[in-house]
Amino acid sequence: MWAGVALAAVAMAAWAAWLGWDQHRDVHPDGSTTGPYEAWQVVGLGLTLLAPVCWAAFRGYAVAGVVGTTAGLTVAAFYDWSDDASGLFVIGTILVMIGTLAVTSAVALLATALKRKGE
């Protein structure tokens, strides 16, 4: 259980480090807006979280790695986006949860398979 809690904390800290500071949308000359995040920030977040998920899987805590990371990113997204008056942040948060669950599950399965192959 503690591994999951630790990984949730790592995921929330990684969200804050990579995405938490960028809260402004970019307005282009044609009036369209993008953001608030750039692609490199999201890629950096994903790459940063690969290490703890793989570490957990190699140590035999694959489920804790998946659940902890998913919970941490979901809570961070909910907190970061909850000031959206439209209420659409809930859909975004659910999509973050589903995407994180899918990717961390695949990474944990791959890491576990590689560990078993190496034994």
Sequence-distant (≥ 6) Cβ neighbours of residue 66 within 8 angstroms: 53, 101, 104, 105, 108
How many residues comprise the chain? 119
Structure tokens at 60: 């035999």
Q: pTM, whole model, 2 decimals? A: 0.86
61 forms bridges with which residues in the sheet? none
Is the pLDDT at 96 greater than 70, yes or no? Answer: yes
**Residue range 4-63, pLDDT digits in tens:** 999 999 999 999 999 988 777 778 889 887 778 888 999 999 999 999 999 999 999 999
Q: Is the peptide bond before 29 cis (omega within 30 degrees of 0)?
A: no
3 state DSSP class of 35: coil
Separation between Cα atoms, residue 34 and residue 32, nearest integer Å: 7
